[in-house]
């Protein structure tokens, strides 16, 4: 009847309030055998939390609002304008003039795979510095492509690697690519960069750097430091939602990747296509390659706009100041910082050794339950060794450091000692 048709239309536009009626109608009239899942007939729940772990970090309202703007087509001229703005923002954030500068549609891992898949051909050798999870992860990716060589610190698995050791390894093995993490978030280490690009250049090796956890928090100068390929993620100090990942290639990297004998194994991450999609290849028209995350790009543009307004130097200064303040507070609580050398500590993610006699999981659960605050344990090789506190971008404030310290003090008081 007409009444019934009307009520179905009504139900379709006001799904959640009328769900039980819809289910009744479904059972009697529908051809589907899998019913709508009950969980989806309840409203979305995403609690407000203090994201004081290694990322994602809280996203400022301005960036959230940008991501909530009406969608436009991924091939509309306005979208190309926004992508051009993003490119400029990344060039500023990376301190580079590379024209081959884009954002991946995907998290930092997408950029990591894009770099390796485009720069390396099957059978070529890749040298990877390992001092935490990110070196391990790139090794996982690179070993699918070519011959893998690992480089560790002689002193301690989480320490920075001496330039001399890098020099000898590059000279001896002649890799086509050397990978180093600037901000190793699993260890809380910020690796010195100066001089390494020159070593690579001298031996005709591309220098690939991961700044996912450090960009905007610690200085990096892509051009001045002779970095050939640099990438980051959106969800750390940039404070955009996870899902986009800036990456840039200089002329040397372009020479290598656009003169390959073989196609990169990934179509989605093939820079021949991505460079056209981002208008970096000098061709008059941009062709369809894939549908980029339109809302994610809106948000990324806004986060880069905030960084441009704040200024890189101010952003670096603030992360240094707040992380120093946090570190002093942690030491006052009797906690031990995992990276002993102050200058090597990552200003975005601070690692503390797990306090003697405590169960780190219990402490983290306690802090989440009683303070609605995320801190995390270690990641990959540092699991069971550290707890991590991240105060990045929008979250990088002394008042937040105070809150994190209070939460930790509370956990130290109220979590039972299970060992020692």
Which residue, chain included where needed, has tokens 């055998």? 33
Q: How far is CA 351 from CA 27, 184, 220, 411, in A?
A: 54, 11, 21, 17
Identity of the residue, 60 or 381, whose beta carbon is nearer to ligand GLV in the bound complex: 381
Work out whether 351 is an interface residue with ligand GLV (CB under 6 A).
no
388 carries a ligand binding annotation: yes
Under the criterion CB under 6 A, does residue 54 sit at the interface with ligand GLV?
Answer: yes
Does 387 interact with ligand GLV (rule: CB under 6 A)?
Answer: no
Q: Does 55 bind ligand GLV (CB under 6 A)?
A: yes
| Residues 396, 317: Cα–Cα separation, whole Å | 11
Between 179 and 277, name the residue whose CB sits nearer to ligand GLV. 179
Residue number with CB closer to ligand GLV (212 or 280): 212
Site string for ligand GLV, 264-283 (x = CB under 6 A): --------------------
Nearer to ligand GLV, 182 or 286 (CB): 182
Cβ-closest residue to ligand GLV?
A: 185
Closest distance to ligand GLV from the beta carbon of 392 (Å): 11
- 19 close to 43: Cβ distance less than 8 angstroms: no
Q: To the nearest whole angstrom, how small is the minimum distance from the Cβ of residue 104 to ligand GLV?
A: 15
Say whether 336 sits in a helix, a strand or coil: coil
Nearest alpha carbon to residue 238 among 50, 57, 109: 57
Distance set, CA 51 to CA 88, 175, 236, 361 (Å):
28, 39, 10, 17
Query: Residue count at the site for ligand GLV (CB under 6 A)?
Result: 6
CB of 236 to ligand GLV, least distance (A): 7
| 196 touches 357 (CB < 8 A) | no
- Closer CB to ligand GLV, 118 or 382, in the complex: 382
Q: How far is the CB of 183 from ligand GLV (least distance, A)?
A: 9
Give yes or no for residue 185 binding ligand GLV (CB under 6 A).
yes
Please, which residues bridge with residue 385 across strands? none
* Segment 367 to 386, residues that bind ligand GLV, using CB under 6 A: 379
- Give the footprint of ligand GLV on residues 201-230 (CB under 6 A): 213
Contact 376, 57 (CB under 8 A): no
C-alpha distances in Å from residue 129, one per residue of 147, 151, 252, 350, 412: 14, 5, 21, 21, 35
Q: Which is nearer to ligand GLV, 60 or 242 (CB)?
A: 242
CB of 199 to ligand GLV, least distance (A): 27
- Rounded Cα–Cα distance for residues 41 and 51 (Å): 28
CA distances from 229 to 114, 200, 288 (A): 10, 12, 25
Q: Which of residues 21 and 383 has its CB atom nearest to ligand GLV in the complex?
A: 383
Least Cα distance to 336 among 408, 241, 231 occurs for 408
If one asks whether residue 183 binds ligand GLV (CB under 6 A), the answer comes out as: no
What's the closest the beta carbon of residue 226 comes to ligand GLV, in angstroms? 26
Rounded to whole angstroms, the Cα distance separating 295 from 68 reads 7
Q: How far is the CB of 198 from ligand GLV (least distance, A)?
A: 29
* Binding-site residue set: 388
Footprint on this chain of ligand GLV (rule: CB under 6 A): 54-55, 185-186, 213, 379
* Binding-site residue set for substrate: 388
């Amino acid at each position: 009847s007409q009444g019934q048709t009307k009520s179905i239309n009504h139900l379709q536009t006001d799904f959640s309030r009328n769900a039980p009626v819809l289910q009744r109608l479904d059972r009697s009239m529908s051809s589907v055998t899998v019913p709508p899942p009950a969980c989806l007939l309840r409203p979305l729940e995403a609690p407000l939390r203090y994201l004081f772990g290694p990322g994602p970090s809280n996203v400022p309202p301005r960036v959230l609002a940008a991501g909530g703007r009406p969608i436009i087509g991924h091939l509309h001229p306005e979208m190309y304008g926004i992508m051009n703005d993003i490119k400029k923002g990344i060039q500023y954030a990376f301190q580079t003039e590379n024209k081959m500068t884009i954002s991946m549609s995907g998290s930092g891992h997408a950029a990591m795979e894009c770099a390796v898949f485009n720069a390396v051909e099957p059978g070529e050798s890749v040298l990877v510095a390992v001092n935490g999870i990110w070196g391990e992860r790139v090794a996982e990716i690179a070993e699918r492509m070519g011959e893998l060589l690992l480089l560790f610190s002689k002193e301690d698995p989480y320490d920075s690697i001496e330039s001399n050791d890098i020099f000898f390894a590059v000279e001896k093995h002649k890799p086509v690519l050397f990978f180093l993490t600037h901000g190793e978030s699993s260890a809380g280490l910020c690796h010195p960069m100066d001089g390494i690009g020159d070593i690579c250049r001298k031996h005709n090796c591309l220098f690939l750097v991961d700044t996912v956890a450090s960009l905007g928090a610690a200085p990096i100068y892509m051009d001045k430091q002779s970095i050939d390929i640099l990438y980051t993620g959106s969800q750390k100090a940039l404070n955009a939602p996870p899902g986009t990942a800036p990456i840039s290639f200089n002329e040397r990297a372009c020479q290598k990747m656009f003169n390959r004998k073989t196609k990169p194994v990934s179509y989605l991450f093939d820079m021949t296509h991505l460079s056209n999609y981002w208008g970096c290849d000098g061709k008059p028209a941009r062709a369809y390659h894939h549908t980029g995350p339109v809302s994610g790009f809106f948000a990324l543009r806004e986060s880069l706009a905030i960084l441009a307004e704040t200024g890189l130097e101010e952003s670096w200064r603030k992360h240094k100041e707040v992380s120093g303040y946090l570190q002093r507070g942690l030491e006052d609580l009797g906690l031990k910082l995992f990276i002993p050398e102050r200058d090597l500590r990552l200003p975005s993610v601070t690692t503390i050794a797990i306090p003697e006699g405590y169960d780190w999981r219990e402490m983290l659960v306690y802090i989440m339950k009683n303070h609605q605050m995320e801190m995390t344990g270690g990641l990959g090789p540092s699991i069971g060794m550290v707890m991590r506190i991240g105060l990045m971008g929008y979250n990088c404030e002394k008042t937040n450091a105070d809150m994190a310290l209070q939460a930790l003090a509370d956990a130290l008081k109220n979590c039972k000692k299970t060992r020692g």
